[in-house]
Amino acid sequence: MNRFARNLKLAIMVTMSLIAAGAITTARAAWPQDRPIHLVVPFPPGSSPDLLARTIAEPLSKALAQVVVVENKVGAGGNIGTRAVAKAAADGYTLLYTINGPLVTAPKLFKTKLGYEPSTDLAPIMLVASSPNILVVSKSLPVDNLADFIKQAKAQAGQMNYGSVGNGSASHLAMEMFMQAAGIDLKNINYPGFNQITLAMLAGDIQAGFMVPSGVMTQINEGKLKALAISSKTRNELLPTLEPIATKGYPDFEVISWNALLAPAGTSGEVIDRLQRTLTEILAQDEVRNKFKLQYFNVVASSPEKLTQQMRDERARSEALIDQLKLSLDD
């Protein structure tokens, strides 16, 4: 074999090696085969968002043929985990499953300490599910309906207490909105979580609170607490006996808890689209929907555009109320 032939053979071998290496690299980079997906939940294990995230993680893992790991990054009302995702690589391997707060109220409450901007640092994928809150009162309070509660609150102006999970939380802002609508005045008592609020209401230390259904329906069904109304504008199939506050003379009143899935901004449209389509199919499964119902959440499965609009609209409403109340958690 002459030198030209040897050089040609060597060139062909090098070229084929480069092509093979490129093919391997491409295969490894094809999402999501490269490595496990981390689904970050910025709330503790056992919380409602954690349970719902784990509900979708297993079928999502099967559908994508890749491990989906639920990772709890807790702290600062959900802001720490949300910030971690907002600053993560936009490669589809880090996702966020969260509730409203870190997306719509946190930017106003933590003007300088937040470390992320939801509208620019996160890419909406889907509004997953929603649930109304319940206006719950202590059994010791001599009221049986919304009108009685308002009458009692007016008669004891400033003397009745309600519980919330902190200034600026949904449970706090919901009651502030209702107090303005109904012309009543209750004192806010902060607690670390809804379990503590429930215990305080059972003991009669506080008289009322807007509660997430999953944490309080057992006590309501056992007659230990009283449910007066729900915060959605229409009746809810999962809470069929409760009427909306909006139908009781307050047509503009609405407070909804919701869960959403997002990714770091810059995540490719192909990844966003595949996740949205795959999760829509998963959330249509009866087994999955029934697990959501156990937490009193209705499946929504929206488009990214609808989640974007939901975040924008709710943020505008909550920021106006936060301004009015002069709330800030920067200090």
* Parallel/antiparallel/unpaired status of strands 68-72 and 37-41: parallel
In which band, very low, low, confident or very high, does the pLDDT at 35 lie, cut at 50, 70 and 90? very high
Peptide bond just before 264 cis, omega within 30 deg = no
The string of pLDDT tens digits covering residues 60-99 is 999 999 999 999 999 988 999 999 999 999 999 999 999 9
pLDDT score of 19: 55
Mean per-residue pLDDT over the chain, rounded: 92
pLDDT score of 27: 41
pTM of the model: 0.87
DSSP-derived 3-state class of residue 303: coil
pLDDT exceeds cutoff 70 at 38? yes
Tokens representing 114 are: 């937040």
All domains in the chain, ordered by first residue = 37-131+257-325 (3.40.190.150), 134-248 (3.40.190.10)
CA distance 271 to 304: 12
pLDDT score of 331: 61
| First CA to last CA distance, the chain | 80
pLDDT exceeds cutoff 50 at 154? yes
What are the beta bridge partners of residue 158? none
Q: Kindly tell me the burial class for residue 115, based on how many C-beta atoms sit within 10 Å of its own C-beta (0-12, 13-18, 19 or more).
A: middle
In which band, very low, low, confident or very high, does the pLDDT at 9 lie, cut at 50, 70 and 90? low
CA distance 242 to 230: 6
CA distance 95 to 227: 36
Q: Kindly tell me the burial class for residue 34, based on how many C-beta atoms sit within 10 Å of its own C-beta (0-12, 13-18, 19 or more).
A: middle
CA distance 268 to 276: 12
CA distance 230 to 130: 13
Q: Among positive and negative, which fits the CA dihedral 218, 222, 225, 231?
A: positive
Q: Among positive and negative, which fits the CA dihedral 186, 192, 194, 197?
A: negative
pLDDT score of 113: 85
CA distance 126 to 300: 9
Residue in 237, 238, 256 with CA at minimum distance from that of residue 246: 256
The string of pLDDT tens digits covering residues 262-273 is 999 999 999 999
Q: Give the residue-averaged pLDDT of 294-304.
A: 96
The string of pLDDT tens digits covering residues 215-274 is 899 999 999 999 999 999 999 999 999 999 999 999 999 999 999 999 999 999 999 999
E-strand stretches of the chain? 37-41, 68-72, 94-99, 122-132, 134-138, 161-164, 187-190, 208-211, 225-230, 256-264, 298-299
Residue identified by tokens 């999501």 is 32
